[in-house]
């Protein structure tokens, strides 16, 4: 984990943005120099000449100030870049001597609970559906869940301890098209977001469900159904303070093939996480996916499409409830979350409820 509170990458990016802004301002000043400093008098009388001279003097004063501002801007950008380099150097210099100390502190907790006292949880490997590791009991954020393999559920994000953010869930794996004469594979569910730290932190967001696979190729008079879309992951909950994580979209169903092939059902949207006990809004529930197209007598939506909208997360003492998500054709919209007991309003129900 990082031993610094500053993020050198963000500092360097800010310096780059400032340099770009400074270049734009400088270009505008140069473009305005000629027409503003060389204003011609409207006439040959003394008044016109004096007015033109006054405007030209103001323009020259502006150009002088612009030059000084450009110099200050360049020095400030240089200072930011130097600061980012200093932070990066300090991180590299301190990592080696501090890491053994951190390992010694974490060793007993790691041996007893499988979780360190201080440190971030590891991210789940992509394509495995592996859960993200939990952050340290005291300080540390949860790892991101790994994306699912073919038709596999995405990993859940790791949770934080006292201080830290919950990890985001991993994407559900897409279902593959069915073999000849076989239905499409269902998509995997998205991973849930990890819970935020008890005292401080941001809850993780759920991840989207995978798409259902299309039905396989067929011969004359045959049909195959599309696979169902995976459900979206739910958002993690906050601790004492902070908002709940957002639910994620359900996956779309696969398309049916043939005269009687039905489209795959839509995945349900994930629920929003609950807000912090003292303060924080509930996360929004997500919309369901779309059902796959089919050629059955039930129409182009097929017989499926029962994906429900996700429910909004609840607030406790102070905060607003999250909004509910929209449903697919035959599903139920999500309920809005409850508002805080002391202050806050309830979230809106999903459309159609």
Domain boundaries, the chain: 8-112, 117-353
Percent of the chain with pLDDT strictly greater than 90: 51
Asked if CATH classification 1.10.287.850 holds for the domain at 8-112, the reply, yes or no, is yes
Most confident of 45-49, 51-55, 227-231, 259-263: 227-231
Please give the backbone phi and psi of residue 162, each rounded to the nearest 5 degrees, phi first: -90, -50
**Which range among 22-31, 286-295, 304-313 shows the weakest confidence by mean pLDDT?**
22-31
**Which range among 92-96, 291-295, 311-315 shows the weakest confidence by mean pLDDT?**
92-96
User: Using one digit for the tens of pLDDT, what is the confidence trace for 166-218?
Assistant: 999 999 999 999 888 899 999 999 999 999 999 989 999 999 999 999 988 87
For residue 27, pLDDT over 80 is answered with: no
pTM over 0.85: no
Give CA separation, 278 vs 31, 241, 316, in Å. 55, 6, 7
Residue 6 confidence class, pLDDT cut points 50, 70, 90: low
Average pLDDT, integer, range 313-330: 93
Classify the phi-psi angles of 131: left when phi > 0, otherwise alpha if psi is within -120 to 50, otherwise beta. beta
| Residues in CB range of 324: below 8 A, 6 or more apart | 285, 309, 310, 311, 312, 333, 334, 335, 336, 337, 347, 348, 349, 350, 353
Nearest to 165 by CA among 238, 77, 104: 238
Mean pLDDT, the chain, integer:
85
pLDDT of residue 313: 96
């Amino acid at each position: 984990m990082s031993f610094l509170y500053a993020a050198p990458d963000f500092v360097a990016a800010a310096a780059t943005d400032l340099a770009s802004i400074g270049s734009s301002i400088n270009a505008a000043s140069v473009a305005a120099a000629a027409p503003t400093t060389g204003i011609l008098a409207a006439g040959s009388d003394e008044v016109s000449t004096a007015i033109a001279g006054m405007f030209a003097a103001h323009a020259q004063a502006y150009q002088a100030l612009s030059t000084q501002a450009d110099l200050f801007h360049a020095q400030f950008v240089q200072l930011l870049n130097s600061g980012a380099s200093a932070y990066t150097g300090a991180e590299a210099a301190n990592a080696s001597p501090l890491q053994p100390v951190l390992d010694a502190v974490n060793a007993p907790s790691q041996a007893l609970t499988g979780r360190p006292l201080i440190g971030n949880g590891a991210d789940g490997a992509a394509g495995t559906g592996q859960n993200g590791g939990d952050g340290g009991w005291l300080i540390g954020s949860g790892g991101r869940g790994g994306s699912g393999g073919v038709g596999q559920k995405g990993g859940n994000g790791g949770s934080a301890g006292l201080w830290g953010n919950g990890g985001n869930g991993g994407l559900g794996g897409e279902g593959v098209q069915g073999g000849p004469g076989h239905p499409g594979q269902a998509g995997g569910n998205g991973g849930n977001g990890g819970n935020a730290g008890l005292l401080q932190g941001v809850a993780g967001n759920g991840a989207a469900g995978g798409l259902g696979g299309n039905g396989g190729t067929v011969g004359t008079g045959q049909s195959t159904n599309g696979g169902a879309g995976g459900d979206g992951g739910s958002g993690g909950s906050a601790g004492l303070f902070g908002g709940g994580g957002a639910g994620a979209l359900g996956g779309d169903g696969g398309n049916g093939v043939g005269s009687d092939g039905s489209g795959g059902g839509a995945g349900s949207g994930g629920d929003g996480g609950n807000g912090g006990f003292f303060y924080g809004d509930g996360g929004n529930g997500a919309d369901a996916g779309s059902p796959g197209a089919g050629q059955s007598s039930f129409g182009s939506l097929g017989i499926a499409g029962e994906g429900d909208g996700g429910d909004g997360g609840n607030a406790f003492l102070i905060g607003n409830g999250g909004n509910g998500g929209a449903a697919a054709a035959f599903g139920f919209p999500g309920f809005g979350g409850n508002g805080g007991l002391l202050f806050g309003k309830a979230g809106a129900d999903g459309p159609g409820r």
